[in-house]
Amino acid sequence: MRQAVAVGLLATAVLVHLAASGPADSRAGGAQSEPVPVVAQQNHMHRVVHQLQQRLHRVPDDTASWAQLGASYVELARVTADPAYYAKAEGALKNAGDTGLAAIGMGTLANARHDFHAARDWAAKAIAALPHSAEAYGVLADALTQLGDDAGAQNAVQKMLDLKPNTASFARASFHLELHGDVDGARDAMTRALTAASTPEEIAFCRYRLGELAFDHNRLDEAAQHYEQGLAARGDDMTLTQGKAKVAAARGETPVALDAYRKLVARAPLPQYLQEYAELLEASGKPEEAARQYDVLTEQQRLMESQGASDDLAAALVAADRGDGVQALRRAESEWSKRQSVFVADAMAWALHMNGRDAEALEYSDKANALGWQNATFSYHRGMILAALGRVAEAQEALVQALRLNANFSPLQALKAGRKLAELRGGR
Amino acid 79: pLDDT: 83
How remote is the C-alpha of 300 from its chain's centroid? Answer: 16
- Number of neighbours of residue 302 by Cβ within 10 angstroms: 10
Strand, helix or coil at 353? helix
Give me the pLDDT at residue 4, please.
Answer: 46
Does the model's pTM come out above 0.95? no
Instruction: Choose among 377, 9, 398: nearest CA to 207.
Output: 9
pLDDT at 28: 38
pLDDT in tens, 325-383: 999 999 999 999 999 999 999 999 999 999 999 999 999 999 999 999 999 999 999 99
In this structure, of 9-18, 25-34, 37-46, the range with the lowest mean pLDDT score is 25-34
Are the beta carbons of 114 and 334 closer than 8 angstroms?
Answer: no
Give pLDDT tens digits for 51-73. 999 999 999 999 999 999 999 99
> Can you give the C-alpha Rg of the chain in angstroms?
21
> Would you list the DSSP string of 143-185?
HHHHHT-HHHHHHHHHHHHHH--SHHHHHHHHHHHHHTT-HHH
Report the distance separating Cα 270 and Cα 268, nearest Å: 6
Distances (CA, A) of 113 to 96, 127, 268, 280: 19, 21, 17, 27
Question: Does the pLDDT at position 172 exceed 70?
Answer: yes
Which residues does residue 52 pair with via DSSP β-bridges, in sequence order? 23
Q: How confident is the model at residue 27 (pLDDT cuts 50, 70, 90)?
A: very low
* Residue of 395, 399, 314, 326 lying closest to 362 (CA atoms): 395
pLDDT tens column, 368-398:
999 999 999 999 999 999 999 999 999 999 9
Contact 203, 234 (CB under 8 A): yes
CA triple 410-268-319, angle to 5 deg: 40
